[in-house]
Amino acid sequence: MVSEKIVPGLEARSETVVCDHNIAQHVKKFSTPSMIHLMEKAASTALEPYLNGGQVSVGYEVKIRHIAAAPLGATIVATAEVTEVFRNRVNFNINAYNGETKIGEGTHQRAIITPRP
């Protein structure tokens, strides 16, 4: 059973600093896979306090656009906002920012499951 507290409007954020381990080596800028990871982390963080014993959330779809570069040393903030809940599936709008500049946007879907041992 999914918590009734998981509702549209629920939000969370996650942040990181651009460094050698999260850049695209050929351009020395924040990589798209790192941005997706940060966006998924924000979505997962939004759900964590509301999961029932043994439940986890797993991502099953990400649709994003990486629209601007971010250099080494930049602080990137990803946000996730619940837009829809249907049974055990939760839809999010996700964004990533370097300061006031939006560097990524899209949608993300997660499912709340109870893994079998």
Say which of 40, 79, 81, 108 is annotated catalytic: 40
Q: What is the pLDDT of residue 53?
A: 86
- Provide the domain limits for residue 79: 11-113
Query: Is the residue at 79 inside a domain?
Result: yes
Q: What is the pLDDT of residue 41?
A: 98
Tell me the H-state helices in the chain: 32-47
Query: Is the residue at 26 inside a domain?
Result: yes
- Residue 85 burial (10 A CB sphere; 0-12, 13-18, 19+): middle
Helix (H, G, I), strand (E, B) or coil at 25: coil
Q: What is the pLDDT of residue 62?
A: 98
CATH code of 50's domain: 3.10.129.10
Catalytic residue status for 75:
no
Q: What is the pLDDT of residue 58?
A: 97
Residues of the chain with pLDDT under 70: none
Q: What is the pLDDT of residue 116?
A: 84
Q: What is the pLDDT of residue 1?
A: 76
CA gap 36, 107 in Å, rounded: 10
Q: What is the pTM of this model?
A: 0.95
Q: What is the pLDDT of residue 83?
A: 98
Say which of 15, 16, 45, 66 is annotated catalytic: 66
Number of domains in the chain: 1
Q: What is the pLDDT of residue 106?
A: 98
CA gap 48, 117 in Å, rounded: 20
Catalytic residue status for 11:
no
Query: Is the residue at 63 inside a domain?
Result: yes
Query: Is the residue at 77 inside a domain?
Result: yes
Catalytic residue status for 32:
yes
Q: Which phi and psi angles does 57 have, rounded to 5°?
A: -110, 140
